[in-house]
A and B are shown apart, each in its own frame.
Chain A
């Protein structure tokens, strides 16, 4: 039989009714709305697009129909087999849950020599034996950590000021490494320290044990010193000297900086960012103020706190983009996390902005006294007398008891934004997250109240702001965004493929 060529009409299916696939929508502004499906595929169209789609006013041969079908907002007879495709994408999006707890934070001591305004745990002259993690607790904690199913784990040594309990660190590190090797797990270690007490000997140890350093840099001297007072008011100068020393000894790329945002910081985004550039850092995290830093009595959605942060963030992001355009690679981490969720098929395991919430599921905190907490925030709550999120104690409780105990089970019940009021309908559900502990701390219950939630308004506004950039389809900005997402330099984006 001779082969004949058939016309295009033969291959497009007849006009049967289409069916909807799950999606949510949101008005972005007067003219535009955004539709987002369960795996984060989005479509930005004129206001009324969702209505057109839902009320079956979409015409079969139209470009809009093809786009919405390709992005899996609708399904018709010719695409029924592709539900498996959607399920696969769903699995990819939630892949970060795989392996369960990956980040393990060890609070090796509560002692600290600083008294930063925003910190709740400083005990300057406290007794070493009372406030350091004992070797016994350290060993039990390492045991518990290694029971996690995850193959790739991160051990974060924190405090107080962890270097004040260097002997505890020296006890934990080889033990953890031995066990990791035996269990064929990959272990990354990082220490969050102000470096004020870092001797050369300690830095050599960090280098030899392949431990990364994360330190605090709140901005130029004026801001850093105001945030982090110490006798002599030279926290900034000391930090800069120590960063230089740590880079030299531990390794230039093994020292990262994090800022803590205070009221003072909010008025100086440019100066803070410029300081990071001055110190040759290529990553900055414009974080929101922790609720412990300023009293959140007001329940206003558009209260002073939120507006000021958003203003700070927008100005900061604009400045950072300009810096990138001029040839200096600088990634903004909050944007990077959200952009990864928006622009790629993947989710991210950033514990504070994921659903299900990272608390317990992806992160666990082992306190100096053996108590185990779901997050660092929940440990801080305990310092203030609220033990709601203490999951157990390494001396008394097995892993099973910790993860089946009331504290954890209750926490998990509020961990998925898919089932939270307000979130369940939100277009940004796939990009956002849930934080039951934050809700508890700021609003009085783990479920939270979206209209008055600063977590909600902040994330919604930042996501909207990022979509403004995305919708422009500016080539240069998208390249910068993807350089951030892929942790690469801007000049490596669009490089020639190896043949």
Chain B
């Protein structure tokens, strides 16, 4: 039994194991590893190997027979399905991380610096609809010159 979606093809090898081929142009190694990590409680995962330009992920279920500790062991179909959904989510997370890691550093640096928060002068002027000369206020109030 196999299933196909964009850049991904899953092949059930037996009732308890499956192989998934992933197109590295769509799925990053990072997302694959992270998605795989969450399955390691129910399955043995072989680290992705590159063969004919695709990642190959092998999944083998750990528990097949119901036990008291695990009365309803996972089914290979569910595990593969879960893996694929998870993969998409981790790709999204990777994109967020790429886009936000710098601003995150900035925020944390500001948050924990001795004086870094709220030290910058705001941009813009204390403008007003009819152009009151705020420069006069600068002299009087000792404000930084408005930028504009």
A residues sitting closer than 8 Å to B (CB atoms) are 1-4, 19-25, 27, 38, 50-51, 54, 75, 81, 83-84, 86-88, 90-91, 94, 298-304, 421-422, 425, 449-452
Contact = CB atoms under 8 A, between A and B. Distances in A.
23 contacts: A1-B130, A20-B99, A22-B96, A22-B100, A25-B89, A38-B104, A38-B107, A54-B96, A75-B103, A81-B122, A81-B123, A84-B118, A87-B111, A88-B118, A91-B112, A300-B41, A300-B69, A304-B68, A421-B34, A421-B37, A422-B38, A425-B34, A452-B40
Interface size class of B (residues with CB under 8 A): 35 or more
B129 interface: yes
Given A84-B110, A451-B38, 11 more contacts: A1-B131, A23-B96, A24-B93, A27-B89, A54-B92, A81-B122, A83-B103, A91-B112, A422-B38, A425-B90, A451-B41
B106 interface: yes
Contacts of A302: 70
Nearest to B40: A451
B118 A21 contact: no
Contacts of B39: 451
Nearest to A304: B69
Contacts of B118: 84, 88
Contacts of A452: 40-41
Contacts of A449: 40
A491 to B, nearest CB: 37
B59 to A, nearest CB: 14
A301 B70 CA distance: 10
A299 B41 contact: yes
B117 interface: yes
A83 B110 contact: yes
Contacts of B41: 299-301, 451-452
Given A81-B123, A84-B117, A303-B70, A90 B106 contact: no
A50 B103 contact: no
A180 B37 CA distance: 49
A233 B130 CA distance: 86
A90 B107 contact: yes
Contact of A54 (B95, B104, B108, B117): B95
A451 B99 contact: no
A298 B69 contact: yes
Interface in B110-133: 110-112, 116-118, 120, 122-124, 129-131
**Considering residues B107, B110, B117, which has the most beta carbons from chain A within 10 angstroms of its beta carbon?**
B107
> Most chain-A CB neighbours within 10 Å: which of B90, B100, B118, B120?
B100
B129 A88 contact: no
Contacts of B89: 25, 27
Contacts of B99: 19-20
Given A1-B130, A22-B104, A83-B106, A90 B40 contact: no
Contact of B107 (A1, A87, A301): A87
Contact of B117 (A51, A88, A304): A88
Top 8 A-B residue pairs of the complex, sorted by shortest distance between their CB atoms = A87-B110, A90-B111, A451-B41, A22-B100, A91-B111, A22-B104, A87-B111, A301-B41
A422 B34 CA distance: 8
Given A54-B92, A90-B111, A20 B123 contact: no
A86 B110 CA distance: 9
